[in-house]
Amino acid sequence: MNDDIPTLSHLDASGQIRMVDVGAKTPTERTAVAGGRVRLTPRAYALLTQPGQGKGEVLNTARVAGILAAKRCAELIPLCHSLPLSFVGIDFSLDEAASTVRIQATCRTSAQTGVEMEAMTAASVAALTIYDMCKAADKGIVIEAIALQYKSGGKSGEWKRADAG
């Protein structure tokens, strides 16, 4: 097989799905950071960020939801391995001019496979939680740009998204 040609690791030689066998791999320290954005109308953003209106409650609820989602990733994504997570962190930054909440999810483990899916699941569920808690003010909320920003560890080493600021 030519190593320059990418393959889909979750398909066997006959094209059938399979869980990747990581049994022979040595556990290494691994980190993944994923991000996403929740775009609201200016009115809904103002409600979210108005003092006493629940910014802390909404974002704290989204933080807890993202952490729980990372811990349950293997139950949601059929071929993911269950991983012992050593850390899950969810951070938010607010952009008033764009009426957006930026989400950054960081996951760490020492394991035989990476934590990219856990980080992206955490960012996605945190975004969905913000949507859920703000939908009464804005049905047109958009969740966008869920993507891996950074990963380290394992055979492929370190990777950083070229457009990650």
d(CA 104, CA 156): 22
Which pair of tokens denotes residue 84? 């012992």
| Torsion angle in degrees (nearest 10) through CA of 98, 103, 104, 108 | -170
d(CA 64, CA 76): 17
In the block, which residue shows the tokens 């139950």?
75
For the question of residue 91 being annotated catalytic, the response is no
Structural contact between residues 146 and 26, judged by C-beta atoms closer than 8 angstroms: no
In the block, which residue shows the tokens 């094209």?
15
Q: Name the active-site residue from 91, 132, 138, 163.
A: 132
Catalytic positions: 132
